């Protein structure tokens, strides 16, 4: 067993070690003893000189001068020795001070290392906790998303509706998941579906206000209870999209429910009473989509491209005041009951006709306008393209872009550019 160290003495309590104190004591005793020896030697030398050379003869004076010179040499040697001792003591003091400074520096470095290790440990623990929290949140989001997606595949209508609302809530609370959820809603609407016979637009808007289009009807749909319930689910999905793509009053701040920057892919989808009035959306793909009921795109802002090529509009389509920041592609679209682009603004290509190349062969692919078509007060940054666009009824009043008119061919009236 090791013997415990003795308790610190007064020297250690006052910050000095025993060796340091002993060195000080020895130095003091040496100086005093040396002083006494010098005094004794001086007194003895004085007495001896008085005894030997007190007669004052010339020989005595000469010898006295020799002794005096010798004494000066001795005194000088003693002074040199004293200076050497003082220098040595000064050197020892400097070394001791340097040692203490080095010890202090080492202690500071050790303390800094300890603090750095502690800070690194804290940061590591915080990272672990944050990673654990992030993993838990991501697992929770994945679980909610998977459960809601599974609910959409249920055969029971209430469960499918619950899945839609669960996805809506998840997207509202997790902005980085919104586009993924929007993609899922679009994929659901792209699934094959047959409208029940007699399904028409209701006498009210399903989104924001009670005004209805002039051609809205309220026939009771027939064709099966399951089909009618599925129609309710699909209209709910449309409403969720429209509601969260609507930023609110343009003069005020955006609504908290608004999801900015969303893109839609509804290619080939069957859409029923579409109401996207005042919405702001990025890239949209409605190519080949079937728009049943009324179609309302008034004041919609398309911040990306808008593809409606090959789409079918079964009732009147309203694009009043719409703003197309990217390309607007309506090549091959069919408007059965009129369309209006009054006050619309096209900042890029506006293509309603022309030739489309398929397997190296050019095919005319113009839009078909049934009913009245109006481009009154529409503005185009580039010349619109309506080549090979057809008109089913040339007798009704149309408002075409400047330079365009219906040909005189009664059997095949089409739009021509008359410069």
Instruction: Determine the Cα–Cα distance for residues 266 and 286; give it in Å rounded to an integer.
Output: 5
Quote the pLDDT of residue 377: 92
Instruction: Determine the Cα–Cα distance for residues 253 and 250; give it in Å rounded to an integer.
Output: 7
User: pLDDT tens digit string along 266-277?
Assistant: 999 999 999 999
Alpha-carbon radius of gyration of the chain? 51
Quote the pLDDT of residue 318: 95
Quote the pLDDT of residue 72: 77
User: pLDDT tens digit string along 168-209?
Assistant: 999 999 999 999 999 999 999 999 999 887 665 444 444 444
**Has residue 388 got a pLDDT over 80?**
yes
Report yes or no: 210 and 285 within 8 Å, Cβ to Cβ: no
The percentage of residues in the chain with a pLDDT greater than 90, rounded to a whole number, is 50
Backbone φ and ψ of 326, nearest 5°: -110, -165
> Each residue of 12-38: b (16+ CB within 10 Å) or e?
eeeeeeeeeeeeeeeeeeeeeeeeeee
Report yes or no: 317 and 291 within 8 Å, Cβ to Cβ: yes
Average pLDDT of the chain is 83
Q: Domain-by-domain residue ranges, the chain?
A: 79-146, 153-417
Of residues 280, 272, 325, the one with CA closest to residue 298: 280
Report yes or no: 332 and 366 within 8 Å, Cβ to Cβ: yes
User: pLDDT tens digit string along 29-56?
Assistant: 776 777 678 768 766 776 666 666 666 6
Instruction: Determine the Cα–Cα distance for residues 70 and 72; give it in Å rounded to an integer.
Output: 5
Of residues 206, 186, 202, the one with CA closest to residue 277: 206
Quote the pLDDT of residue 223: 46
How crowded is residue 165: how many other Cβ atoms within 10 Å of its Cβ?
13
- Higher-pLDDT residue of 255, 6: 255
């Amino acid at each position: 067993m090791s013997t415990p160290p003795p308790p610190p003495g007064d020297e250690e309590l006052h910050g000095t070690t025993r060796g340091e104190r002993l060195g000080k004591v020895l130095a003091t005793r040496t100086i005093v003893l040396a002083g006494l020896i010098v005094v004794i030697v001086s007194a003895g030398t004085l007495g001896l000189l008085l005894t030997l050379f007190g007669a004052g003869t010339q020989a005595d004076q000469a010898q006295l001068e020799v002794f005096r010179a010798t004494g000066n040499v001795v005194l000088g040697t003693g002074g040199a020795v004293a200076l050497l001792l003082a220098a040595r003591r000064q050197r020892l003091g400097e070394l001791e001070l340097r040692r203490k400074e080095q010890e202090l520096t080492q202690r500071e470095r050790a303390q800094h290392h300890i603090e750095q290790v502690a800070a690194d440990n804290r940061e590591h623990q915080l990272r672990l906790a944050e990673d654990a929290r992030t993993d838990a949140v991501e697992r929770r989001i994945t679980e909610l998303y998977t459960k809601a997606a599974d609910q959409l595949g249920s055969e029971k209508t209430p469960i499918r509706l619950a899945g839609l609302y669960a996805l809506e809530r998840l997207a509202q609370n997790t902005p980085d998941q919104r586009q993924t959820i929007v993609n899922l809603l679009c994929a659901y609407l792209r699934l094959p579906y047959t409208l029940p016979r007699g399904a028409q637009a209701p006498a009210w808007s399903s989104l924001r206000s009670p005004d209805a289009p002039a051609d809205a009807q309220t026939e009771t749909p027939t064709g099966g209870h399951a089909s009618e319930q599925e129609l309710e689910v699909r209209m709910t999905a449309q409403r969720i999209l429209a509601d969260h793509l609507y930023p609110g009053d343009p003069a005020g701040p955006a609504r908290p429910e608004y999801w900015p920057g969303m893109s839609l892919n509804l290619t080939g989808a069957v859409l029923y009473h579409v109401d996207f009035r005042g919405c702001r959306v990025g890239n949209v793909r409605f190519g080949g989509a079937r728009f049943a009921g009324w179609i309302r795109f008034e004041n919609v802002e398309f911040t990306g491209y808008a593809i409606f090529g090959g789409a079918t509009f079964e009732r009147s389509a309203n694009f009043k005041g719409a703003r197309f920041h990217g390309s607007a592609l309506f090549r091959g679209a069919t408007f059965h009951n009129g369309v209006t682009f009054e006050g619309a603004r096209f900042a890029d290509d506006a293509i309603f006709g022309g030739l489309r190349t398929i397997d190296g062969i050019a095919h005319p692919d113009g839009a078909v306008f049934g009913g009245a078509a109006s481009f009154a007060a529409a503005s185009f940054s580039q010349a619109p393209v309506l080549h090979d666009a057809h008109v089913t009824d040339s007798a009704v009043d149309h408002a075409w872009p400047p330079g365009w008119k219906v040909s005189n061919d009664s059997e095949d009236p089409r739009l021509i550019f008359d410069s």
